[in-house]
Amino acid sequence: MRFHRLFLFILLLLFLPACGAKPQAIQPTPAWATVTPAANSTPTLTPFVPFENAPPLLSTPASPSNVPAPAAPLFKPEGAVSILLLGSDQRPGHNDFRTDVFILLTLRGDGSVSLVSFPRDLYVYMPALGKSNRINAAYEFGGFDLVAQTLEYNFGLRPDHFVLTSFSGFQHIIDSLGGVDVNVGLTLSDTRAGYPDGYTVYPGLVHMDGETALWYIRSRATSSDFDRLRRAQEVLVAIGEKLLTLQGLARIPELYQTYQSSVVTDLTLDDLLALLPLLQQVDKNRIDRYTIAPPFVTVWIHPDTGAYLLLPDVTTIQQILQQALKTP
């Protein structure tokens, strides 16, 4: 029984997001884009999936309503389980933090998986607070309850569970695996500590240790937040593929300890054991990846604060989520 428990924890690690500092134990205090790899890039096994009904980009977004109407509930197929993967930017000694990595993972019951990334500046209504704010602030203000409530109110889908992870935990997981091979979609050049002339990665398979992978995900001086969503998914898939190898499974006890010390979740052992049949069916060649980005969000500058915000096209985002759920 102990082996099965450890194996299940390792399988869950396949889908941990990669951002955030170590969270407190209980601290309740989305465009879809197609990436076209370069000619010499290694073809990815998990391509971004085309969305069929993309609306035109709005040139002048309207001011959002103070209290939007709740979204119609989405249909979730029987057997599907959704887990919200969060990564916080909390610093040691600070109580304030944001969850800049915000990925909805759905185990769809047939061996396939979907990942949907939401941008941190998505401006959504938070019903328990009675006001709108960036989606990355929901966990700090109300824990997973407010996050789930917010997703359900704005998009009609309530996640079943959540996993919150950290900078240090993410780096430790990757380093304990001997690094991961990330299928880089686009060239990235940016500043990096310890590299006076900057650092560059090119399209194709790139071996990364924990520090490099964290730099790759968090880097944004020469790219956009939307590009970060793609990069986070690339690393996430690389971790999963490495953990599926014999090398990863042979180190179950060590990885189990890493999981315990690096993750906050509402998943109990009974919950994890109940997920075992779904996790055992996962096919790494059937992972569909989506991001919520232009043209399904539009930039809006708050007239009072000057804040940069993204207004969601709720109807289209719901269609993306329904596609990610693989509703018949």
- pLDDT per residue as tens, the chain (328 positions): 333 333 444 445 444 333 333 333 222 222 222 222 333 333 333 334 444 444 444 444 556 767 899 999 999 998 899 999 888 765 555 566 677 889 999 999 888 999 999 999 999 999 999 999 999 999 989 999 999 999 999 999 999 999 887 777 778 778 888 899 999 999 999 999 999 999 999 999 999 999 999 999 988 888 888 888 899 899 988 887 887 665 555 555 566 566 676 778 888 767 777 777 777 777 878 889 999 998 999 999 988 888 999 999 999 999 999 999 986 5
Helix axes 167-176, 210-218, angle to 10 degrees: 130
pLDDT score for 271: 79
Position 312 scores a pLDDT of: 95
Question: Does residue 295 have a cis bond before it (omega within 30 degrees)?
Answer: yes
Question: Three-state SS across the chain?
Answer: CHHHHHHHHHHHHCCCCCCCCCCCCCCCCCCCCCCCCCCCCCCCCCCECCCCCCCCCCCCCCCCCCCCCCCCCCCCCCCCEEEEEEEECCCCCCCCCCEEEEEEEEECCCCCEEEEECCCCEEEEECCCCEEEEHHHHHHHHHHHHHHHHHHHHHCCCCCEEEEECHHHHHHHHHHCCCEEEEECCCEEEEECCEEEEEEECCEEEEECHHHHHHHHHCCCCCCHHHHHHHHHHHHHHHHHHHCCHHHHCCHHHHHHHHHHHCEECCCHHHHHHHHHHHHHCCCCCEEEEECCCCCEEEEECCCCCCEEEEECHHHHHHHHHHHHCCC
Question: What's the pLDDT at 296?
Answer: 92
| Residue-level pLDDT at 256 | 59
Domain extent listing, the chain: 2-52+72-171+225-325
Contact 321, 71 (CB under 8 A): no
Instruction: Tell which residue, 142, 148, 47, has the closest CA to residue 104.
Output: 148
Place of tokens 């990564």: 87
Q: How far apart are CA 269 and CA 112, in angstroms?
A: 23
The CATH code belonging to domain 2-52+72-171+225-325 is: 3.40.630.190
pLDDT per position as a tens digit, 78-98: 889 999 988 876 555 556 667
Q: What is the pLDDT of residue 211?
A: 94
pLDDT computed for residue 184 by the predictor: 95
pLDDT attached to residue 254 = 63
- Taking alpha carbons only, the member of 130, 117, 122 closest to residue 230 is 117
pLDDT confidence of residue 248: 54
The pTM of the full predicted model, rounded to 2 decimals, is: 0.78
* Predicted local distance difference test score (pLDDT) of residue 61: 53
- pLDDT for the residue 206: 97
Q: What's residue 118's pLDDT?
A: 95
pLDDT at 58: 42
d(CA 228, CA 225) in angstroms, rounded, equals 5
